[in-house]
Amino acid sequence: MAGAGAGLFIKLFSNGLRKVPLMREPWEHVLLMGAGAMAANAYVQYETQIEAEVKAMTTKRSEAHFQGVQR
């Protein structure tokens, strides 16, 4: 939802800067809302993936550390 709102804001802001009617080409608003939603979704998936990788690396390092201490 936030990505779609960002896409809509970008188009409205762009039209406002150019001093043209805000809803000049409504199909572009729909495209940018879709692109914004896709970008936000990709960001959330990437963040989740990175979090899982960091957890795996932390677990692996802590296990390796404890195995080295026990020897």
Q: Over the stretch 12-66, which tens digit does the pLDDT of each residue have?
A: 899 999 999 988 888 888 888 889 899 999 999 999 999 999 999 999 888 877 7
CA 36 to chain centre: 9
Query: 27 Cβ partners below 8 Å, 6+ apart?
Result: none
pTM of the model: 0.67
How many Å apart are CA 54 and CA 15, to the nearest integer? 42
Which of 15, 12, 16 has the alpha carbon at shortest distance from 36? 12
How many Å apart are CA 49 and CA 15, to the nearest integer? 36
pLDDT at 46: 97
